[in-house]
Amino acid sequence: MSTIKTHYNKQIDVLHDIAYLLGRAKSNDEMYKTAVEQSIVKLNIDRMAIFLITGENSVQGTYGTDTEGHVVNESYFRSTITEHAFASEMISNRTYIGFQKKTALLHNFSNVGIGWNGYVTLWDGADPIGWIACDNLLSGSPLQPSQINTLKMLGFIISQNIVRAKYQDQLILANNELELKNRELEYLTARLEELVFIDPLTQVFNRRSLERYMTEAWDFAAQENKSLSILMIDLDNFKSINDKLGHLEGDNCLKAVAELLTNLIKEDHFILARYGGEEFIFSFVGISRDKLSYNAQLILDNVKKLTAHEPNGLPEHPLTVSIGGAFTLANDNIGYIELIQHADKALYAAKSEGKDRFFMSDFAQMHIH
């Protein structure tokens, strides 16, 4: 199993799970408690607390952990922002995440140990709304790079949930601003949805996940002198399926193809993502050109076993796909965007030659496989 893929999938799973649970919280109080509980379990943080700014220089606790790691209600806690020197400095400098090592660890302003502590500031646009505090009081474990990246994304998720809840309350109380607030809510919801790495229809990775994976994979492939390759897969006659059988059946076909692709291809270093519309992309690290062609033919052969159906359930016709491939080495000075572009050109050639076939781009010319 690829170290990159495993680490990448874990980060995605953690953020996806936490975002889902926070989105289902019935109140702000439940959201804060859930955020602390889930973060401790899934981010391997010893202690964590969420603080909210309630005035120009005032802050209040929500939920946090005591010195033994138990999650407790800390809404009783109130202080000035300036009493939290590091957090106050971060807010003044618009710093989103910061850490101190070998520093005094506090509980209710009392020194309870020495270790690292971190702060993730929470924002509503340009306005600070609070911060997350965390440390390693109990285990003394060193700070991991994966914790830093995931905590930063967690701060954005919690910020958006807080802001969304605030605007929802204002919409209820101010009917005369309903139209404006609805637009704001839609904007905030869209921002939150950007954090979701899974395509909601097909349940495979989405385009943002693909781009993030390929950025990391490119660096890894360059260091290890590995190959990088792309299969761009397009469901043939998709517009006809939608027009003739309906968009619901079109969605069913996309889900069936995604499920097939998910279970069909087995490699150590790869990602499958929905690129947009009826297009899917496989990105591989370290496989040969021949194996790339083999995988493409395997996909062509097996997709034909899938069938689109009429509304009465009768089979209509087998599905087919067209595939464009591109292959290179990471040290060939070809970026992943250019690699995708070449796969797209090969896909266009496959479509032009009658569909249900695979074309490989050799950058200088196309070759049929």
Rg of the Cα atoms in the chain: 25
Domain span including residue 237: 207-368
- The CATH number of the domain holding residue 144 is 3.30.450.40
- The CATH number of the domain holding residue 295 is 3.30.70.270
Give yes or no: residues 306 and 211 share one domain.
yes
Whether the CB-CB separation of 126 and 11 falls below 8 Å is answered with no
Whether the CB-CB separation of 191 and 159 falls below 8 Å is answered with no
Round to whole Å and give the CA distance between 308 and 29. 47
| Predicted confidence (pLDDT) per residue in 218-257, tens digit | 888 888 888 999 999 999 999 998 888 888 999 999 999 9
Give yes or no: residues 165 and 233 share one domain.
no
What confidence tier does 200 reach under pLDDT thresholds 50, 70, 90?
A: confident
Report the pLDDT value the prediction gives residue 365, as an integer from 0 to 100: 40
The token duo for 367 is 């070759």
Domain boundary among 146, 165, 193: 193
Give yes or no: residues 118 and 13 share one domain.
yes
Round to whole Å and give the CA distance between 359 and 316. 27
Would residue 200 count as lying in a domain? Answer: no
Give yes or no: residues 82 and 55 share one domain.
yes
**Which residues touch 286 (CB under 8 Å, ≥6 apart)?**
221, 224, 226, 227, 268, 269
Between 316 and 50, name the one with better pLDDT: 50
Give yes or no: residues 129 and 215 share one domain.
no
Give yes or no: residues 162 and 311 share one domain.
no
Q: Is the pLDDT reported for residue 106 higher than 50? A: yes
Nearest residue to 324 (alpha-carbon basis) of 352, 288, 304, 285: 352
Within a 10 A sphere around the Cβ of 52, how many other Cβ atoms? 17
Mean pLDDT of 143-172: 81
What confidence tier does 180 reach under pLDDT thresholds 50, 70, 90?
A: low
Helix (H) or strand (E) holding 271: strand 270-276
Q: Is the pLDDT reported for residue 369 higher than 50? A: no
Give yes or no: residues 218 and 259 share one domain.
yes
Would residue 202 count as lying in a domain? Answer: no
| Predicted confidence (pLDDT) per residue in 328-362, tens digit | 987 777 788 899 999 999 999 999 999 999 999 86
Give yes or no: residues 90 and 226 share one domain.
no
Model confidence, pTM: 0.48
Q: Is the pLDDT reported for residue 98 higher than 70? A: yes
Report the pLDDT value the prediction gives residue 289, as an integer from 0 to 100: 93
Mean pLDDT of 120-149: 90
**Which residues touch 198 (CB under 8 Å, ≥6 apart)?**
12, 16, 204, 205, 206, 209
| Predicted confidence (pLDDT) per residue in 271-313, tens digit | 999 998 999 999 999 999 999 999 999 999 999 999 988 776 6
Give yes or no: residues 161 and 26 share one domain.
yes
Report the pLDDT value the prediction gives residue 197, as an integer from 0 to 100: 80
Would residue 360 count as lying in a domain? Answer: yes
Would residue 269 count as lying in a domain? Answer: yes
Whether the CB-CB separation of 275 and 235 falls below 8 Å is answered with no
Flag the least confident range among 82-96, 180-194, 300-314: 180-194
What confidence tier does 363 reach under pLDDT thresholds 50, 70, 90?
A: low
Whether the CB-CB separation of 85 and 103 falls below 8 Å is answered with no
Average pLDDT, the chain: 86
Give yes or no: residues 183 and 43 share one domain.
yes
Give yes or no: residues 129 and 251 share one domain.
no
Report the pLDDT value the prediction gives residue 190, as an integer from 0 to 100: 63
Domain boundary among 193, 224, 257: 193
Flag the least confident range among 153-157, 181-185, 248-252, 354-358: 181-185
Phi-psi domain of 201 (left: phi exceeds 0; alpha: psi -120 through 50; beta: other): alpha
What confidence tier does 174 reach under pLDDT thresholds 50, 70, 90?
A: low
Q: Is the pLDDT reported for residue 323 higher than 90? A: yes
How many domains is the chain partitioned into structurally? Answer: 2
Would residue 259 count as lying in a domain? Answer: yes
Would residue 294 count as lying in a domain? Answer: yes
Would residue 201 count as lying in a domain? Answer: no
What confidence tier does 164 reach under pLDDT thresholds 50, 70, 90?
A: confident
Domain boundary among 161, 193, 225: 193
Report the pLDDT value the prediction gives residue 282, as an integer from 0 to 100: 96
DSSP string, 313-332: S-EEEE--EEEEEEEEEGGG
| E strand residue ranges, 108-226 | 110-124, 127-135
Report the pLDDT value the prediction gives residue 366, as an integer from 0 to 100: 38
Would residue 198 count as lying in a domain? Answer: no
**Which residues touch 225 (CB under 8 Å, ≥6 apart)?**
329, 330, 331
Q: Is the pLDDT reported for residue 141 higher than 80? A: yes
Flag the least confident range among 4-18, 65-79, 104-118, 334-348: 4-18
Report the pLDDT value the prediction gives residue 364, as an integer from 0 to 100: 39
Give yes or no: residues 175 and 44 share one domain.
yes
